[in-house]
Structure 1
Amino acid sequence: MENIPVNFEDLLGPTLFSQSVEVATSTTLAAKKYTAILFSASWCKPCLMVTPKLKDLYAKVESDLNIVLVGGDRDVESITTYYASMPWLSAQPSPDLFAKVPEALACTSLPSLLIFDSNGTLITKDGVASLMEDPQALHFPWAKKTVISVLADASLVVSQDALVPRIEGKTVAVFFDSFTQEDNYWMQCNGGCEKSPFPINFCEKCPAYKLCNGCLARVGEIHGGDHTFDVVPGVDLAERSQKARETLVGLYSSKPEDFEVLMVSHAKTAEEHAQHVASVPWPVVAFDETHSVAFHLKGFFDIFGDKAELVVLDAERNVVNKDAIISLFKGAAIPFPNHKVGDIVQGNMANGQHQGSKPFMLLCSGKSSKEEQARHESLLEAVSDRLAVPDSDPKMLFFYESSTSEVNRNLRGWGLNMGFACGQQTGVDLLIVDYSVPFIYHYNEEITEDVLVQLSEDFLSGQLKETWFRNRKENMKRAKAAAEAEAEAAAKAEAESQVVVPEAKPQQWKKTVTTTTTTVTTKTKAGDSVTKSTTEKRTVFAIIA
């Protein structure tokens, strides 16, 4: 898809909306250098956090950039309402279009921002991440550069020597240094302060509900008196960076001749950058207020944020390990080979792959002891070995937790929103996730090596998904039948309750009087006949029908 230009009219339809005005797709988009397709929805909290930043960017580059919303809400009215506050274009508000366009562009996440040139050639799929890295549009339109081209243009500090001769023919560990606290773009306090909460206090019963410390004291009890909150601390980037720097310094004096470290600092000022330089013995890229080298290298490596990272490149500048900082922390020797199992708290990489790029298994062990977590890591390594997962292109990734992670919480909330059974964690349990479907499977029974291997094999063969979706379909049928039966019974009861009973009329009585005369004849002793008559009068009352 990246090498084949997109026909916007075929993809988005012949017309677009500019607020309430319908405009022609081809001529409208051809009028500017770049077109961005935005996948976003009103129910998606990260989308709502990205929109204000995108509006600020759009104000800076509007003359060169079209933005077209493809709304992901569930009906036309909701998409139209969501678009009303946006200053850019929109595709026809249609759930069907939202189902078609992301699939055509191999886009699986919300929000997403794909940027194309005027010919329809894709420039980047990582527009959202680039927006967060470069809100001032210093490097817009965020085209990716090769490692070789970035390093060729980079200069070293002090002497301003060219970098390439210092590292030519060597394995290079690119160290992104940081002294700052991480800003979490995707987390927002639900207590009304609209801050990014550090530390994050997650409700144990409501996975998507989180509070900062200030709001926890104010509204925590109001949210639910019997609800408890679990604390997930923010990442201390200064501590992480210092630990990595000191560990690398300890190894540097005995490094192989064909190995070099290159530091790219996230320092915001020249003074802070000078502090970074003074603390290390290896070459450092010269200070640049636009952080051009850091931006383009991280874009090529698909790593984002200001936290310390270590990426190992071979002599040909192929990526050997994008998450070498974890290998460093685990005590691995130079040149820091890939680790088969990732700690989701420390990073989102395992076996050289990003957590979002492959299906993955997460053993939720954050509340366990360190000894138990080490056992879980070994367990997952054994599973990886038994599945013969190749280092170059693994079909599945494996992670555990060294503490309760934000990822764990977000996955459960996402799963519940998507209709998957991802309940509250009560002990060590397991999540199997595939963002591309999407699919999330929750397992909370006995966890053994054999069980994990079987689950992995069933997932990779498609059997786990097939069984889950089949069961869900059957459950939905049963639920639908039960709901229909319940509705039918309720309708019948309602109908019976509304049967009209005729109004009772006052009773009318008929009075009937009858007279009966009885005549009796008897003989006396003398033989004479004597006749005696008796008259009886009778009154009868009867109800008239």
Structure 2
Amino acid sequence: MVSDEHSTYNILRLLGDTLYGKENAEISTADVIAAKPFIALYFSGSWCPPCRRFTPKLVQFYENLKDQLEIVLISSERSEEAHDAYFTKMPWLQLPYKLRDRNNELSTLFNVEGVPDLVLLRSDGSGIQVKDLRPIIEKDTTGFHFPYFPKTIQTALAESTLSGSVYHNAINGKTLAIFFDGPSFPPRIWGKCHKCLNDSSIGDYFLCEQCPTSFYVCENCISNVRETHDKTHIFKVNVAPDLVAESLVVREALQRAYHSPAAIEAGLDFEVLMVSWAKTHEEYDSHISQFPDYVKLEFDEHFTTAFHLSNLYDVSFDTTRVVILSPERDLINKDAALALKQNMPFPFNSLKIVDLCQSTISNNFDLFEKPSLVVIAAPFNAEHAAIVDAAVSIAAEKFSPVGAYIVCTDKSCELAMDMVEPDIIFFTAKGEDEEGLVPWFRNSAGRKGNIIAPEAIIFDWNDKHATYALDDEVNSESLCDFVEDFKSGRLKALKTKRKDDDDVDKATSELNTEREKVEDSKISNLDITGEKTMITLTANLTML
């Protein structure tokens, strides 16, 4: 959750003097600003399955808060008819579809890279209240915690209620592992089936390896699609992750670290605070009974402390995560499960190299927060894996500083004063890619077919999802040069030049094609004229 105190916005200038309701009823923007303290900009389109799944939740959220909140639809539709049909399902206001320039300006201003996106503004123009509201609503569907003024970790912990007769001095001044866990987990919803068009397919799904873009089908449709699909295409099953099994592994690793002889002998001031996602008191009691040694948050049906803690560290509800904080409550490791499972020593610093099969967080930054180097091996190929590990370890050592402590205040989370933020973070991809990221990266970078040798791709979400592929053999020297070329801007300049050259080649080819058509037309006309002359001459000779 991000609050922006430094940027101010003139809402009237952003949205114009008039907004529109149902049947294009005109609504004064000034009246909306005067009546409601918050305005949310909803960037959405009906063609997008996640948008279609999220919109009903947003309707429920809005109905509970419409005295405080107005929502304005900023359309990402591909036609005015689609926009009008989609808007009939929404009880809020809109910018007309025809105002494409204004829609695009708003997308650029608020760095909207995809849909759905929801930005919460203060109506007085004093800034952004929440930069990305959608994941907040996924946790707080009724708006109980609205309007989401951020809290520091210190404040959130100080206001928390601990279970039993435990007091805050049990965790104060100690390295703290916040252990988010659930007694059960809902099935993973992976998205739209290309055959039955079900937006909420659950469980296993099948990925076509030969399709240039991901072709997903659900288990119910796989036999039918196999019969009608090109026989050369191979469907690979992507098994839904077993979240319960993952939780058990993390629990065991955390228990092992907590009770390790080395930690006990060293007298480490290390405590675990358990945050349960249990939804009933009975479920909560059963869940925490499995962890008698840990400090626990008291049961709260509104998840008040859990809500603020999860927002601070980007933790989704109903997931297992371990976050490590220093005694001063600076962030040591945002996703410590890997460090714990690998038996890393206390205080379980963040890893500088992470495999995408295990996490999308490396060096305390997410794949979509920082430019990322992803080095890919053929799945479960030991020879490839050895090459990848050797090369990436040297590059990461050179370019990625030690896992950074991050200090969180009410306004933002920032690196501690003596820390250096990484310019790029490092990932490998050596096993089965359940999320489908590797095919997407390879396709975006122009890589086709099977992985014959290790490949390297740099992905920069914040630069319009730019991807760059290493043309050379993967080794430590080529990776270091690759990163240097990215940081210096040479890769981007080369990609731009290649695109310009391709555009010139394409234009030249099209021009030559047109010229050939003109020449062919001239020759055709000449042939017709010559044929007519010969016929006339023959006729005249016959008459003679």
Regarding TM over 0.5, the answer is yes
Q: 1:27 aligns with which of 20, 25, 31?
A: 31
Q: Distance in 2 between the 1:205 and 1:352 partners?
A: 34
Partner of 2:311: 299
Partner of 2:101: 96
Q: 1:430 aligns with which of 456, 464, 467?
A: 456
Change (3 A) 1:56 1:366: farther
Q: Distance in 2 between the 1:331 and 1:56 partners?
A: 45
Q: Distance in 2 between the 1:493 and 1:70 partners?
A: 50
Q: Distance in 2 between the 1:45 and 1:411 partners?
A: 21
C-alpha displacement at 1:216, in angstroms? Answer: 1.5
Q: 1:229 aligns with which of 216, 232, 235?
A: 235
Q: Distance in 1 between the 2:541 and 2:254 partners?
A: 114
Q: Distance in 1 between the 2:523 and 2:132 partners?
A: 61
Work out whether residues 388 and 428 of structure 2, in 8 Å CA contact, stay in contact via their aligned partners in 1: yes
Higher relative contact order (CA 8 A, sep 6+): 2
Work out whether residues 238 and 434 of structure 2, in 8 Å CA contact, stay in contact via their aligned partners in 1: yes
Q: Which letter does structure 2 place at the counterpart of 1:448?
A: N
Change (3 A) 1:251 1:426: closer
Partner of 2:496: 469
Q: Which letter does structure 2 place at the counterpart of 1:467?
A: L
Q: 1:18 aligns with which of 21, 25, 30?
A: 21
Q: Distance in 1 between the 2:79 and 2:446 partners?
A: 25
Q: 1:247 aligns with which of 231, 247, 253?
A: 253
Change (3 A) 1:185 1:472: farther
Q: Deviations over 1:76-116 (max 9, x none)?
A: 77656654654332234344334422332344343221112
Identity over aligned pairs, percent: 28
Partner of 1:401: 429
Partner of 1:277: 288
Partner of 1:367: 379
Correspondence 1:363-512 to 2 at 5 A: 363-365=375-377, 367-369=379-381, 372-373=384-385, 376-387=388-399, 389=401, 391-392=403-404, 393-407=421-435, 409-410=436-437, 412-413=439-440, 421-427=446-452, 428-438=454-464, 439-443=466-470, 445-487=472-514, 489-490=516-517
Q: TM-score, normalised by structure 2?
A: 0.83
3-state SS of paired residue (1:191): coil
C-alpha displacement at 1:350, in angstroms? Answer: 0.5
**More moved, 51-60 vs 202-211:** 51-60
Q: Distance in 1 between the 2:386 and 2:322 partners?
A: 23
Q: Distance in 1 between the 2:508 and 2:82 partners?
A: 29
Work out whether residues 366 and 404 of structure 1, in 8 Å CA contact, stay in contact via their aligned partners in 2: no
Q: Deviations over 1:145-188 (max 9, x none)?
A: 221222122222233x44x2211111101011134345545633
Partner of 1:119: 124
User: Within the alignment, does 1:264 sit opposite 2:280 as a pair?
Assistant: no
Change (3 A) 1:137 1:216: farther
**More moved, 275-284 vs 495-504:** 495-504
Rg larger in structure: 1
C-alpha displacement at 1:279, in angstroms? Answer: 1.5
Q: Which letter does structure 2 place at the counterpart of 1:449?
A: S
Partner of 2:409: none
Q: Deviations over 1:223-276 (max 9, x none)?
A: 332211222222211111111112222222344442111110122332332232
Q: Which letter does structure 2 place at the counterpart of 1:17?
A: Y
C-alpha displacement at 1:302, in angstroms? Answer: 1.7
Change (3 A) 1:310 1:45: same
Q: Distance in 2 between the 1:48 and 1:484 partners?
A: 44
Change (3 A) 1:56 1:423: farther
Q: Distance in 2 between the 1:415 and 1:503 partners?
A: 59
Change (3 A) 1:235 1:374: farther
Work out whether residues 115 and 141 of structure 1, in 8 Å CA contact, stay in contact via their aligned partners in 2: no
Work out whether residues 189 and 197 of structure 1, in 8 Å CA contact, stay in contact via their aligned partners in 2: no
Q: Distance in 1 between the 2:245 and 2:541 partners?
A: 104
3-state SS of paired residue (2:295): coil
Unaligned runs of 5+ in 1: 511-540
Partner of 2:201: 196
C-alpha displacement at 1:283, in angstroms? Answer: 1.0
Work out whether residues 109 and 435 of structure 1, in 8 Å CA contact, stay in contact via their aligned partners in 2: no
Q: Deviations over 1:273-324 (max 9, x none)?
A: 2232122111111122222222211111122242211101112211111011
Work out whether residues 75 and 95 of structure 1, in 8 Å CA contact, stay in contact via their aligned partners in 2: no
Change (3 A) 1:317 1:367: same
C-alpha displacement at 1:396, in angstroms? Answer: 0.4
Q: Which letter does structure 2 place at the counterpart of 1:269?
A: T
3-state SS of paired residue (2:150): coil
Work out whether residues 431 and 440 of structure 1, in 8 Å CA contact, stay in contact via their aligned partners in 2: yes
3-state SS of paired residue (1:450): helix
Partner of 1:533: none
Change (3 A) 1:128 1:411: farther
Unaligned runs of 5+ in 2: 405-420
Q: Deviations over 1:454-493 (max 9, x none)?
A: 1111111111111012101210222133234435545776
Work out whether residues 183 and 196 of structure 1, in 8 Å CA contact, stay in contact via their aligned partners in 2: no
Q: Which letter does structure 1 place at the counterpart of 2:238?
A: V
Q: Distance in 2 between the 1:110 and 1:295 partners?
A: 24
Partner of 1:138: 144
Q: Distance in 1 between the 2:523 and 2:434 partners?
A: 54
3-state SS of paired residue (2:487): helix
C-alpha displacement at 1:332, in angstroms? Answer: 0.7
Q: Distance in 1 between the 2:385 and 2:194 partners?
A: 31
**More moved, 206-215 vs 372-381:** 372-381
Q: Deviations over 1:21-66 (max 9, x none)?
A: 3433332243223211122345544334333332333333333321
3-state SS of paired residue (1:214): coil
Partner of 1:69: 73
C-alpha displacement at 1:413, in angstroms? Answer: 4.1
3-state SS of paired residue (1:304): coil
Partner of 1:238: 244
**More moved, 43-52 vs 111-120:** 43-52
Change (3 A) 1:59 1:388: closer
Partner of 2:414: none
Work out whether residues 205 and 216 of structure 2, in 8 Å CA contact, stay in contact via their aligned partners in 1: yes
Q: Distance in 2 between the 1:498 and 1:401 partners?
A: 61
**More moved, 361-370 vs 124-133:** 361-370
Work out whether residues 181 and 235 of structure 1, in 8 Å CA contact, stay in contact via their aligned partners in 2: no
Q: Which letter does structure 1 place at the counterpart of 2:456?
A: L
Change (3 A) 1:268 1:343: farther
Q: 2:223 aligns with which of 217, 224, 228?
A: 217
**More moved, 100-109 vs 290-299:** 100-109
Q: Which letter does structure 2 place at the counterpart of 1:21?
A: A
Q: Distance in 1 between the 2:103 and 2:523 partners?
A: 46
